[in-house]
């Protein structure tokens, strides 16, 4: 009998130890811990939106030719005749990667549509570098020519790893749409756009993205919501990888989140720094020895913390409307109209 009691007691303890504990919330709906969210329902809504945020990494390869300074080569010379290779000082291969975030605004039929910033995925086919001098016709002399030889856009997140197709890009307004295969279920409910004209100073905005490849969120306060350029400003911390991250505001009239915009950039100061050739080739060198090889100049940006720019909902709406033709062809319908849901 004693052994039976011990067995029952142990079995009971095992059941208690294996019990799954649900997230704690107070009876009045508050979160168990102090939070930037006002209540548990609001927190859960936001968590569901984060499942639609993906990391975007673009891999780009350029082959470059660096010309001798004073070669007298102009852009017209490249189109009129073959390059005189005697003026080519060096040939380089650049393998670069650029990271950002994207938000799935809709999904169906095994695919999803991502909204992101154009500067994370759109790169020119040819890049020219010019000298400070020009010929008698005012044509500046060339210092370098870079040609893009390959580009791959990789999307990951929520147990998904795939390549993306560019459906539309607007470099002038820094917006782009990508299409990816989706195997985790359809996202048929779009997140409505916020009404930009109804945002106010001090409204809180939340962003979720992949800064430095880490899945994180940040938040801040809206400033100057009526800017004529369509951009929003916030003091939310922002770093590389947040570009394209969705920015949400909470609409109390419907007790739900609306898409106020997407993260674009942070204010920064630019300066020129010297860069050794080996660094361009991603090769290491002995730092204890004087460097005697070729030196190149590159631009380095120093972020100004607390001045973050968002592409506002008005610009998003205009962009989606401009993409209507390609979206209809691809079977996405009138997404711009779906996201312009009016609050009753």
* pLDDT above 90: percentage of residues in the chain: 45
For residue 18, is pLDDT > 70? no
The whole-number pLDDT of residue 43 equals 94
**Tokens 């020009």 -> residue:** 134
pLDDT of the residue at 187: 64
Phi, psi angle pair for 279, to nearest 5°: -70, -35
In a domain, 191, yes or no: yes
Which whole-number Å values give the CA distances from 231 to 242, 260, 276, 313, in the listed order? 16, 10, 37, 9
Domain count, the chain: 1
User: Quick one: pLDDT band at residue 9, thresholds 50, 70, 90?
Assistant: very low
- pLDDT higher than 80, residue 90: yes
Query: Nearest-CA neighbor of 132 among 50, 217, 177, 69?
Result: 69
Kindly state whether residue 24 falls inside one of the protein's structural domains. Answer: no
In a domain, 111, yes or no: yes
DSSP 239-273: -TT-TT-EEEEEETTTTEEEEEEEEEEEEEEEEEE
Q: How confident is the model at residue 110 (pLDDT cuts 50, 70, 90)?
A: confident
Q: Kindly state whether residue 9 falls inside one of the protein's structural domains.
A: no
Percent share of the chain, pLDDT over 70:
83
Q: Nearest to residue 272, comparing CAs of 293, 298, 246? A: 298
Q: How confident is the model at residue 6 (pLDDT cuts 50, 70, 90)?
A: very low
pLDDT at res. 11? 43
pLDDT at 338: 85
In a domain, 15, yes or no: no
25 assigned to some structural domain: no
DSSP state of 320: H
Calculate the average pLDDT of the chain: 83
With bands split at pLDDT 50, 70 and 90, how would you rate the model's confidence at 101?
Answer: very high
pLDDT digits (tens, 9 = 90+) for 198-216: 889 999 999 999 999 999 9
**What dihedral angle (degrees, nearest 10) is formed by the CA atoms of 309, 166, 152, 301?**
-20
Q: Is residue 136 part of a domain?
A: yes
- CATH number for position 245: 2.40.10.120
Helix or strand (DSSP H, E) at 177: strand 175-181
CA distance 63 to 81: 20
Asked if residue 280 belongs to a domain, the reply is yes
Task: For residue 182, give its domain range.
Answer: 39-339
């Amino acid at each position: 009998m004693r052994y039976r009691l011990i067995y029952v007691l142990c079995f009971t303890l095992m059941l208690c130890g294996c019990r799954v504990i649900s997230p704690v919330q107070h009876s009045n709906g508050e979160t168990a811990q102090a939070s930037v969210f006002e209540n548990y329902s609001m927190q859960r809504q936001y968590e569901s939106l984060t499942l639609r945020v993906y990391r975007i990494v673009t891999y780009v390869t350029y082959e470059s030719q660096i010309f001798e300074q004073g070669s007298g080569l102009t852009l017209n010379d490249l189109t009129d005749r073959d390059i005189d290779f005697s003026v080519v000082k060096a040939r380089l291969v650049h393998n670069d990667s650029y990271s950002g975030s994207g938000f799935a605004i809709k999904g169906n039929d095994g695919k999803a549509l991502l909204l992101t910033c154009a500067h994370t995925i759109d790169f020119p086919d040819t890049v020219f570098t010019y000298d400070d001098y020009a010929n008698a016709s005012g044509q500046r002399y060339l210092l370098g020519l870079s040609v893009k030889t390959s580009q791959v856009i990789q999307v990951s997140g929520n147990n998904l790893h795939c390549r993306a197709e560019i459906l539309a890009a607007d470099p002038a307004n820094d917006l782009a749409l990508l299409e990816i295969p989706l195997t985790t279920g359809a996202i048929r409910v779009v997140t409505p756009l916020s009404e930009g004209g109804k945002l106010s100073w001090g409204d809180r905005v939340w962003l979720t993205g992949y800064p430095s490849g880490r899945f994180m969120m940040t938040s801040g306060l809206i400033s100057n919501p009526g800017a004529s350029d369509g951009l929003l400003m916030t003091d939310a911390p922002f770093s590389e990888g947040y570009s394209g991250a969705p920015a949400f505001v909470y609409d109390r009239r419907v007790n739900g989140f609306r898409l106020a915009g997407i993260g674009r950039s942070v204010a920064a100061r630019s300066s020129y720094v010297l860069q050794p050739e080996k660094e361009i080739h991603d090769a290491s060198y002995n730092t204890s020895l004087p460097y005697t090889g070729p030196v190149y100049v590159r631009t380095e940006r120093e972020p100004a913390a607390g001045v973050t720019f968002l592409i506002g909902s008005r610009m998003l709406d205009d962009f989606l409307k401009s993409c209507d033709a390609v979206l209809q062809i691809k079977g996405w319908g009138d997404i711009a109209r779906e996201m312009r849901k009016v609050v009753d």
